[in-house]
Amino acid sequence: MRRGWKMALSGGLRCCRRVLSWVPVLVIVLVVLWSYYAYVFELCLVTVLSPAEKVIYLIFYHAIFVFFTWTYWKSIFTLPQQPNQKFHLSYTDKERYENEERPEVQKQMLFDMAKKLPVYTRTGSGAVRFCDRCHLIKPDRCHHCSVCAMCVLKMDHHCPWVNNCIGFSNYKFFLQFLAYSVLYCLYIATTVFSYFIKYWRGELPSVRSKFHVLFLLFVACMFFVSLVILFGYHCWLVSRNKTTLEAFCTPVFTSGPEKNGFNLGFIKNIQQVFGDNKKFWLIPIGSRTLYLQ
C-alpha cells in the first residue's frame, strides 16, 4: 500500500516537472507574439505614415521572423540523438557486470568491451566512460542528461529556453536560432529607434502605440545584449570544435588530458556543425556528415 502511494507520488511529481519545464518556452512564445503585435500593428500600421516605409519594414521583418521562428521550432522539437545499440551492454554482459562486486574487475570488463568500439576518451581516473543509468559505454563527447534522462551524443548543455538537450542533432539549429534572434532584436531596435526619439521629443501624439513602441525598443535592446554575448561564446566554441561541457572540463584521452583534442582546424570545425555544403549553412535543415559511432 505504502509502496503504491510512493510510486503514484513519484509519477505525479514527474508529470508536474514535465509541465513546468515548458514554462520558459511559453514565456518566450508570449514575448515573441507580443513583439509581433507591437511591431506589425502598433508601429508599422499605426505609427509609420509612409506607405513605402511600411511595406519595406514589413517585408524585411517577416523574412527575419520566419527564420527566427523556424530555427526556434527546430531547436525545440529536434530530438537529441542517442548512441546506437552497439554501445549498449548486452544482456549477458550487463548481468556479469552487475553481479561482479570487485570494482577493479568491473573496470577491466569495461576495458575489454571498449576495445571493440571507436572510443578514445576516458574518465579523469583513466577508466572507460560508462553510464550506469543507460547501461552503455559512452561514445566520445557523449554525456548523460539528467533532465532528459538519456545519454546524448556530443552533448553541449540542456537549455530550459527550448526545453531540450542541445547536442549533435540540433546544435546547428540552436546556433541558427541565436543568430536569427540577434538579427531579429537588432532589426527591431534599429527601425524602432527613430520613432522612439519622435515620441520622446513629443513629435508624435501620445497614444496607445507610444507605450508599445517604447517598450519594444527596451526589450529588443535588452535581449540583444544578452543574446549577442551568448552567440559570440558559441561561435568561439565552434571555431575550436568544443562543447560547453568540454570548455569547462578538459576531455581526457587514452594519452591523457587534451583541451584541443577535437580541434580539426577552423573550416573543418565549422563543417562539423553546419555540414560540407555551404548552401545550407543558414537554413535549418540537417546537412552534416553522420556521427561516427
Catalytic residues: 159
User: Are the CB atoms for 155 and 142 separated by under 8 Å?
Assistant: yes
User: Are the CB atoms for 247 and 237 separated by under 8 Å?
Assistant: yes
Question: Residue 23 carries which side chain, given as an amino acid letter?
Answer: V
Question: Residue 284 carries which side chain, given as an amino acid letter?
Answer: P
Q: Is 215 exposed, middle or buried (0-12, 13-18, 19+ CB in 10 A)?
A: middle
C-alpha cell belonging to residue 202: 513629443
C-alpha cell belonging to residue 87: 554501445
C-alpha pair distances (Å), 232 with each of 86, 182, 205, 238: 37, 10, 40, 10
Closest C-alpha among 265, 181, 263, 262 to residue 223 = 181
Query: Would you list the DSSP string of 64-90?
Result: HHHHHHHHHHHHHHSPPPPP-GGGBPP
